[in-house]
Amino acid sequence: MRQSKLLFKTQKTLPKDEVAVNAQLLIRANFVHKLMAGVYSYLPLGFRVREKVMEIIREEMNALGAAELLMPSLQPKSAWEASGRWEGLQKIMYQFKDHSGRDVGLGVTHEEIVALLAQGIIDSYADLPKYVYQIQAKFRDEPRAKSGILRGREFTMKDMYSFHADEKSLEDFYEKAKKAYTRVFERCGLKSYVTEASGGDFSKSHSHEFMVETPAGEDETYLCRLCGFARNKEIADFKKGERCPTCTAGVLEKVTTVEVGNIFKLGTKFSEAANLNFKDKEGTLKPVVMGSYGIGVERLMGTIVEVHHDERGILWPETVAPFTIHLLLLGEASEELQKFADGVYHEFEKAGVEVLFDDRMKVSAGEKFYDADLIGLPWRAIVSEKTMVQGKIEIKKRNESGSKTVKAKEFIAEIKQ
RNA sequence: CGGGGCGUAGUGUAACGGUAGCACGAGUCCUUUGGGAGGAUUUAGUCUGAGUUCAAAUCUCGGCGCCCCGACCA
């Protein structure tokens, strides 16, 4: 991608009012644009990060045997009546009347909708278990949207639902999902801790939350760094410095965390409401046992920024970086230099290396350096008169200070392996 | 939803109740070109509605919006 063609401009000044690091950096680096509190546009660079995060999620969900589908955001009140949540969610769900006076709402979550859907398909124990997921816009009329893209009013959620014949089957899948979630966060460059939390509205049994440690968070978690034991402060009152109840060797710390994922054992609450039943081997009608599993895509993206940045800008992990390499063309570009730079650019493209080519004219070297640090691609490659005479490019990692001058071909071979 | 802070140009900021100014950005020209270059010139603004006043960006009230703390987080 040629930077000169991108709808894109970085800002030197900090956005007034924005205190959250993710908001400051993502806005300055032009990854996102705020339309209203908690509602953002994703500009080309931000869009690519979001896509990469979603792709990682997809791969891990598919590996669990779950199939992707898409349910509607626009939903009739009738779908919510059986569970009784239409009234309960009044404060947080966008609910309104359409032109014919019918009550409709925008989806905050899809337990009701997916239960209705499955009700027409699942009849027998032979139909179970089944797992489906979607990645879709959710709307929540948050009383207070905050912390940049960490808590939005319109946001993307990966929500997965599982259907089982019994608790044992749910339990098995739930444990697999737990591992898959940890892998998703790890692949996004985040160390997550699984905490037990209250099931909220959903279930009597506790749910699990996936916490990432960062001062930007809004949750307090007791954590044992030695064995990874973690428990949400809502449900446990330890004292700081207390011994870890699991490994007994570590000492508990109270840390601030962001909840990047949440999984619930729903049991039969929603299946009973939706008449989602199946016949077991004896022909007895039983309610399907359900689980639900959520990841906030933009929240995850924002958390990555909160964890991976320095005073100059973002440091994207390679797995989610919008591009792998930032190619900068420096200096007064003679025709010869331009040709050389284009050649390097095409070489990267041909090799399938994702490259952002800062081919902007009339932009000083200093400005390109500042922009590159702010945008935070993992690698920076420079072409200039200096490197051209050697037929080489100068390579530097965003998070390291040293650089080296190599042939583009050699570098491609290096990062390809 | 309670409490607090704040709304001036695309962005960041000034202006005692009395001429809306500066910087960055953007446009044009010249000089520059390895860590946000320099000069000349142009562009563009008081959130909104009432009120007080000879006079309001400035004071008062309402509305709208943004940020922060708390509550909430299905």
Whether ipTM exceeds 0.85: yes
Contact A353, A324 (CB under 8 A): yes
Verify that A34 and A155 share a domain, yes or no.
yes
Q: Which residues contact A19 (CB under 8 A, 6 or more apart)?
A: none
Say if residue A129 is preceded by a cis peptide, omega within 30 of 0: yes
The pTM score is 0.96
- Among A282, A310, A338, the domain boundary falls at A310
Number of domains in chain A: 2
Q: Cβ of residue A275 near strand B, that is under 7 Å? A: no
Q: Which of A396, A393, A417, A387 is nearest to A407 (CA)?
A: A393
A274, A119 contact by CB (below 8 A): yes
How does DSSP classify residue A233?
T
Q: Is A332 in a helix, a strand, or coil?
A: coil
Instruction: State the residue range of the domain holding A402.
Output: 325-416
Task: Report the b/e string of A316-331 with b at 16+ CB within 10 A.
Answer: bbeebbbbbbbbbbbe
In the sheet with A95-97, reading across from the earlier edge strand, the strands are: A74-76, A103-106, A95-97
Strand B contact with A38 (CB < 7 A): yes
Q: Is the CB of A141 under 7 A from strand B?
A: no
Q: At a CB cut-off of 8 Å and minimum separation 6, what does A302 contact?
A: A20, A22, A23, A26, A147, A148, A149, A150, A216
In a domain? residue A92 = yes
> Strand pairing of A39-42 and A103-106?
unpaired
Residues 208-267 of chain A in contact with strand B via CB under 7 angstroms = 218-219, 262
A146 strand B contact, CB < 7 Å: yes
CATH number at residue A339: 3.40.50.800
Q: Are residues A130 and A248 in the same domain?
A: yes
Q: Are residues A335 and A276 in the same domain?
A: no
Q: Are residues A229 and A91 in the same domain?
A: yes
Rounded to whole angstroms, the Cα distance separating A11 from A280 reads: 62
Which tokens belong to A295? 């990841």
Written as tens digits, the pLDDT of chain A (417 aa) is 999 888 888 998 888 889 999 999 999 999 999 999 999 999 999 999 999 999 999 999 999 999 999 999 999 999 999 999 999 999 999 999 999 999 999 999 999 999 999 999 999 999 999 999 999 999 999 999 999 999 999 999 999 999 999 999 999 999 999 999 999 999 999 999 999 887 666 655 669 999 999 999 999 999 999 998 898 887 777 887 889 988 999 999 999 999 999 999 999 999 999 999 999 999 999 999 999 999 999 999 999 999 999 999 999 999 999 999 999 999 887 889 999 999 999 999 999 999 999 999 889 999 999 999 999 999 999 999 999 999 999 999 999 999 999 999 999 999 988
Residue A117 lies in a domain: yes
- Among all strands, which nt has the closest C1' to A388 (CA)? B34
Q: A167-187 and A44-63 are packed helices; what angle lies between their axes, rounded to 10 degrees? A: 140
